[in-house]
């Protein structure tokens, strides 16, 4: 077939009819990497405890967005948002079970856009949280997510046999056990872990797609709980040197002025008992170790891309699906509207894009239109984000005036909305009836002082509320 196309091109050229259009073959490839529950605990984001050389090297090749934010700090709503280019108020996805097709039956998702343009498409690992029947992929490769749960159980039992059990099992009936601490180092080799399998399958997909334009989405699982990784990745990090957030420092943190809806009582890491300082350090170490582990698997995929000589013509985007708390405000989880819950890593490498760092405010809803423009497509009209191409061309340029996030409280079930500007964040729960929050990041980067009830900030809170209300109205109006 390739020889036939070359012959056709030659004949058309000699007849003065120009070259045939094989646009999909000449367009750049796309490698979209999503790392589950990955926050900005990366060396390239200034985390002194992180060991992430491969993601750091990727960031150094393109533009790293210093202030990127999720639209919903939970897997399914977040992924539904950035894979459709719409805010949660438009997708109507607010939990782990809803499918955006109920509200958007005919919308073209990011993978569909590329497939419709003639690209080969692939999904490896976790991409959509709830599968989308209309986003058909040429290659679909899922991994057994339960593998790492078995690794955790084995590691816990091994510690018990060694009389080093600091986290005794709790019976859950029918022989099942649970643990307070959802993390452990393992003696198993790398190939026994879920993310090794995902990286291997992604490498196979690259081999399959090497001679055609492709869109490949790869969803890694760690550092999502359980925080498990080979022992060698735990050995990289000395828990005694780990920087702890204010909640675990001397004097602790006063959370009395934070609304009940904002402070979830149920955590992803500690199921039955809150950690003391030494245990909290070990938990942060386990998260950092599992992040270092997944970094190594990202490195394997990037190495294969380079080996196949595809890296020069491939757009690479890497992000987490939302932020994550590692003890801040006493939280060990996602599903909040704080800075830690909503801020995400985001880096973009693309042909012709020079390395740089952007401090402008951006959102994950902007990823879809960015990829569309970089690939030379017209941005679909339904998209509510904006392309990041201006910031890729000039990283020191202005970002958005504000970014927005939504959340449903895990225990009160009330809806909260957040607006984040360069300096301030305003949050209201149940339209303010269940509490409000206002933080000044210039004077209070750790969100230790809720200024919402301070009369000196009443005007600012009112202006931010007005901006937030206008945004929510505009998002709803755009969907009609």
pLDDT at 11: 34
pLDDT of amino acid 101:
97
In a domain, 430, yes or no: no
Task: Give the other-Cβ count within 10 Å of 303's Cβ.
Answer: 14
Q: Of the listed 54, 75, 86, 325, which one is catalytic?
A: 75
Which backbone phi and psi does 447 adopt, to 5 degrees? 60, 50
pLDDT recorded at residue 145: 77
Which CATH number is 392's domain given? 3.40.720.10
Domain membership of residue 437 (yes or no) is no
Could you count the other beta carbons within 10 Å of the beta carbon of residue 242? 18
Per-residue confidence (pLDDT) for residue 15, from 0 to 100 = 34
The yes-or-no answer on residue 417 being catalytic is no
Strand (E) or helix (H) holding 281 = helix 277-307
- Are residues 399 and 359 in contact, defined by beta-carbon separation less than 8 angstroms? yes
Domain that holds residue 369: 24-154+183-400
Structural domain includes residue 242 = yes
75 part of the active site: yes
In a domain, 476, yes or no: no
d(CA 384, CA 362): 13
Answer yes or no: is 9 within a domain: no
Q: Is the residue at 432 inside a domain?
A: no
Phi-psi domain of 335 (left: phi exceeds 0; alpha: psi -120 through 50; beta: other):
left
Q: Name the catalytic one among 44, 54, 86, 129.
A: 129
Q: How many domains does the structure of the chain reveal?
A: 1
Question: What is the residue-level pLDDT of the chain in tens, covering all 480 positions?
Answer: 434 433 333 333 333 333 333 344 468 999 999 999 999 999 999 999 999 999 999 999 999 999 999 999 999 999 999 999 999 999 999 999 999 999 999 999 999 999 999 999 999 999 999 999 999 999 999 877 778 999 999 999 887 666 666 788 887 766 678 899 999 999 999 999 999 999 999 999 999 999 999 999 999 999 999 999 999 999 999 999 999 999 999 889 999 889 999 999 888 999 889 999 999 999 999 999 999 999 999 999 999 999 999 999 999 999 999 999 999 999 999 999 999 999 999 999 999 999 999 999 999 999 999 999 999 999 999 999 999 999 999 999 999 999 999 999 999 999 999 999 999 999 999 999 999 999 999 999 999 999 999 999 999 999 999 999 999 999 988 765
Residue 387, in any domain of the structure? yes
Number of Cα atoms under 13 Å in the Cβ half of residue 441: 11
Q: What is the pTM of this model?
A: 0.93
pLDDT score, position 480? 58
2, part of any domain: no
- Cα torsion 106, 109, 113, 116 to 10°: value is -50
């Amino acid at each position: 077939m390739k020889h036939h196309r070359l012959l056709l091109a030659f004949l058309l050229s000699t007849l003065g009819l120009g070259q045939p259009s094989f646009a999909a073959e000449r367009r750049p490839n796309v490698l979209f990497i999503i790392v589950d529950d990955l926050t900005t605990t990366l060396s390239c984001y200034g985390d002194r405890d992180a060991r992430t050389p491969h993601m750091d090297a990727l960031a150094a090749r393109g533009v790293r967005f210093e202030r990127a934010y999720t639209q919903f700090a939970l897997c399914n709503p977040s992924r539904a948002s950035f894979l459709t280019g719409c805010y949660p108020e438009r997708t109507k996805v607010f939990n782990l079970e809803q499918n955006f097709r109920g509200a958007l039956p005919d919308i073209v998702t990011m993978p569909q856009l590329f497939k419709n343009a003639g690209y080969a498409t692939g999904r490896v690992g976790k991409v959509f949280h709830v599968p989308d029947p209309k986003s058909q992929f040429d290659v679909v490769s899922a991994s057994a997510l339960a593998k790492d749960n078995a690794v955790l159980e084995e590691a816990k039992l091994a510690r018990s046999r060694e009389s080093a059990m600091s986290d005794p099992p709790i019976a859950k009936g029918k022989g099942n056990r649970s643990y307070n601490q959802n993390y452990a180092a393992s003696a198993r080799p790398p190939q026994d872990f879920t993310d090794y399998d995902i990286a291997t399958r992604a490498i196979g997909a690259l081999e399959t797609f090497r001679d055609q334009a492709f869109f490949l989405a790869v969803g890694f699982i760690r550092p999502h709980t359980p925080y498990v990784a080979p022992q060698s990745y735990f050995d990289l990090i000395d828990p005694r040197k780990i920087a702890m957030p204010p909640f675990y420092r001397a004097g602790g943190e006063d959370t009395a002025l934070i609304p009940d809806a904002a402070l979830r009582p149920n955590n992803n890491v500690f199921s039955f008992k809150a950690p003391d300082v030494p245990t909290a350090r070990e938990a942060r170490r386990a998260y950092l170790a599992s992040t270092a582990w997944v970094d190594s698997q990202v490195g394997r995929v990037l190495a294969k891309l380079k080996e196949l000589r595809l890296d020069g013509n491939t757009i690479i985007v890497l992000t987490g699906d939302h932020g994550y708390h590692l003890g801040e405000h006493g939280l060990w989880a996602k599903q909040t509207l704080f800075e830690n819950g909503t801020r995400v890593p985001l880096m973009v490498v693309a042909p012709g894009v020079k390395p740089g760092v952007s401090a402008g405010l951006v959102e994950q809803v902007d990823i879809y239109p960015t990829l569309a423009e970089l690939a030379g497509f017209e941005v679909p009209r339904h998209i509510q984000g904006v392309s990041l191409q201006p910031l890729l061309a000039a990283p020191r340029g202005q970002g958005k005036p504000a970014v927005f996030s939504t959340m449903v409280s895990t225990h009160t079930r009330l809806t909260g909305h957040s607006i984040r500007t360069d300096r301030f964040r305003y949050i209201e729960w149940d339209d303010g009836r269940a509490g409000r929050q206002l933080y000044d990041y210039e004077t209070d980067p750790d969100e230790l002082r809720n200024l919402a009830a301070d009369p000196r900030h009443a005007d600012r809170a009112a202006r931010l509320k007005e901006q937030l209300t206008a945004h929510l109205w505009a998002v709803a109006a755009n969907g009609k």
